[in-house]
Amino acid sequence: MQPSADDLLGDLDPEQREIAECLRGPVSVLAGAGTGKTRTITHRIAHGVRTGAYAPDRVLAVTFTRKAAGELQARLRGLGAEGVRAQTFHGAALAQLGFFWPQFVGGSAPQVLPGKVSVVSQAVESLGLRLGAEGLRDAASEIEWRKVSMLSIDGYAERVHERPVPGGLTPEQLVDVHQAYSRITDERRQIDFEDVLVLLTGMLETEPRAALQVRERYRFFTVDEYQDVSPLQHALLRVWLGDRDDVCVVGDASQTIYSFAGASSSFLLRFGSEFPHARQFRLERNYRSVEPIVRASNRLMRDRPGALTLEAIRQEAVGPPAVEWFASEQEEAEAVASSIRASVASGTPPSEIAVLYRTNGQSARLEEALGRSGLGTRVHGAQRFFDRADVRQAVMLIRGEAKVADDRPLFQIVSDVLRSIGWTSRPPEGPAERDRWEALNALLSLVDEAPPGTGIREFSEELLARQRAHHEPTLESVTLSAIHAAKGLEWSLVHVVGLSEGLLPIGHAVDDEAIEEERRLCYVAFTRARDALRLSGAASGGRSARAPSRFIAEAGLAFAGE
C-alpha cells in the first residue's frame, strides 16, 4: 500500500516540507551542503504525483551527470513516482533531437562525436601547427566554452585575448583551430555534445510544432545543481518552458566550481528577477557534518556572494579538523596512508574514507603509499564499475539465470553465479585478485539491498537499470578523487591533501575571480566529510618550495602544535 501524503512528508524538516508542498509556479531553493536537497526535491516530485498535481509522465527532472540522474530516478521509484523522467541536459536533448530531426530536417540526426580531441588534433595538423596532448585538451575545452557561452567563432575572436591560450598557439591561431574544427565536423556530418544542445534549442525556437510537442510532453521541470548551469543550458530550459513557469531550481552558489567551463551561479542568484513571482527558499540545516567541520566551512565562505550560513545539527563533542604540514609530497602520502590504516584498524570501513586532491597527477603517490599499506584503492572517475570486464561477465550470467525458472533464494542464485567465475567467501591476498574480488563482492552486496521477496528476474532488471544509469554499488576500498569529481558525494572520513599555495589554490589562479573559484573548490572538499576532516600540505613537490594554503587560516584552522 502506498503511504499517504502526510506519511510521505512526515520525515522532512519544516523548511523541507514547505518546499515539498509548494508544487506550482516558479520555485528557487538555495540549498547548502548536507541540507538534504535531493531528499527534498524527490519528495516534492513524489508528493506532486501522489496528490494528483503532477501527471508523472509530464515531469522532467534534470541534473548534470548520468550517475546523479540514475540515483534521482532510483529515489523517485522508491517513493512511488514511477513514470517521472530523470535525465541530464544532454541526455534529454539527444533523445529529443533524434526524435525531431527526421520530421523537420529529414534523414537521421548527425553522428555525435565521443570526444573532441581527435578532431582538434586533425584541425591543428591541417593548419600546419603542432600541439602536445595537454594543448589539444585545452583547445578542445575552449571550443566547449565557446559553444556553451553561445558565442559564434567571430564573437569568440573578439574575446580570445581574454581567454587562456594553449602553449604553442597565438590567439589568432586558436581562432583558426576553431574554424578548422568546425569545417571538419561539418564535412563529416558530425556534431559534438554541445552541438546537441545548440541544434535542439535552435530547432525548438524555429519550429513551433516541435516546441508544442515538447511542451505537451513535459509540463513540470526540476533542475538540480542549478549553480552549474551554462548560458546554453539556460537557453534550452527557457525554450522547454515557453511561456510557462512551473520550474523548480535547486543549487548552492558556494559550490559553483565549473566557471572555467562556462557555468554561472548568476542564473540561480537572479532567479527572482527572471521570475518575479517566484517563491524562494533556503535550506541551511546541515545534517551531514559534525559542528567543527561546518564551522570551518562557514568561515571559509564568510561574506561571499550567495553564501549560506550552515547550521550544524550534529553537535558531537569532537575537535576541529586536524591540519599537518610535511617536508615533501612523498612524506605527506606516507603519513596519510599510515593514518588511514589506523582508521581502518579502529573500525572505519575503507569505503567510508576518501582522499581528495586538486589535480589528478597527485593520485599516483597516494595510490602507491596506500597499496604498500595493504589498502585497496578506487580512483573515482576512472573506469566505470559496470564497464569492467569481470562485472560485465557477471551481469550477463545473472541475466541468463533470470531466463530460467528457479525458486532458490536470490542470494544463493547470485552467489553461485559469482562462484562460477572465481568469487570466494574469503578475500584473496594479492592486490589485483583483491580488486576483482571487491568488484564481484559489490554485486553480491546488492542482494542485501534488494527489497524482501525480490526474485532473480527483478534483480536482473535492477542490475540492468543500474548499468544504464551508471548507478554503482559501494566498493570496500579507499576512494581517491579529484575534488571536482567528488561533488555530490560524502564519506565518514575525508583527507584533503595538497593544501599548499600553487596546488590549492592552483598556481594559475592569479586574479580574484579565479581565487574565489579555488575557494569554492576547497569548500566542496571540506563539506564532503561527515565525521572527520584531516587536512595536509607539503613544502616541496619537487623543484619548488611552497607555503601553506591561505585557505587554512581563512577557515580558522591551525597546524598541529600551533
Question: Has 479 been labeled as part of a binding site?
Answer: no
Residue partners of 363: CB distance under 8 A and separation at least 6:
357, 379, 480, 482
Return phi, psi of residue 141, to 5°: -65, -35
pLDDT value of position 473: 67
Question: pLDDT at residue 4 above 60?
Answer: no
Question: Has 35 been labeled as part of a binding site?
Answer: yes
Question: Has 374 been labeled as part of a binding site?
Answer: no
Question: Has 347 been labeled as part of a binding site?
Answer: no
Q: What is the CATH number of domain 5-93+197-283?
A: 3.40.50.300
What is d(CA 77, CA 45) in angstroms, rounded to the nearest whole number?
11
pLDDT in tens, 402-416: 887 778 888 888 889
pLDDT value of position 345: 93
Question: Has 34 been labeled as part of a binding site?
Answer: yes
What is d(CA 301, CA 284) in angstroms, rounded to the nearest whole number?
14
The amino acid at residue 189 is R
Please tell me what DSSP assigns to residue 506: B
pLDDT in tens, 492-520: 999 999 999 988 998 878 888 889 999 99
- Residue spans of the domains in the chain: they are 5-93+197-283, 114-175, 316-382+476-554, 385-469
Average pLDDT score over residue span 477-506: 92
Average pLDDT score over residue span 32-46: 95
pLDDT value of position 197: 96
Alpha helices (H) along 89-242? 89-104, 117-126, 133-148, 153-159, 171-187, 193-206, 208-217, 231-241
What is d(CA 449, CA 480) in angstroms, rounded to the nearest whole number?
25
Question: pLDDT at residue 543 above 50?
Answer: no
Ranking 14-18, 225-229, 421-425, 478-482 by mean pLDDT, the lowest is 421-425
Question: Has 439 been labeled as part of a binding site?
Answer: no
Average pLDDT score over residue span 299-326: 92
Question: Has 92 been labeled as part of a binding site?
Answer: no
Question: Has 170 been labeled as part of a binding site?
Answer: no
pLDDT in tens, 210-231: 999 999 999 999 999 999 999 9
Same fold yes or no, 5-93+197-283 and 316-382+476-554: yes
**Grid coordinates belonging to 66:** 548520468
Question: pLDDT at residue 384 above 70?
Answer: no
What is d(CA 409, CA 417) in angstroms, rounded to the nearest whole number?
13
Alpha-carbon dihedral angle through residues 369, 371, 376, 382, given to the nearest 10 degrees: 70
Average pLDDT score over residue span 309-325: 93
- State the pTM of this model: 0.81
Residue range 316-382+476-554 in CATH 3.40.50.300: yes
pLDDT value of position 540: 77
**What angle do helix axes 193-206 and 89-104 make, rounded to 10 degrees?**
50
pLDDT in tens, 76-103: 988 988 889 999 999 999 999 999 999 9
Confidence of residue 454 (pLDDT cuts 50, 70, 90): confident
Alpha-carbon dihedral angle through residues 57, 63, 69, 71, given to the nearest 10 degrees: -110
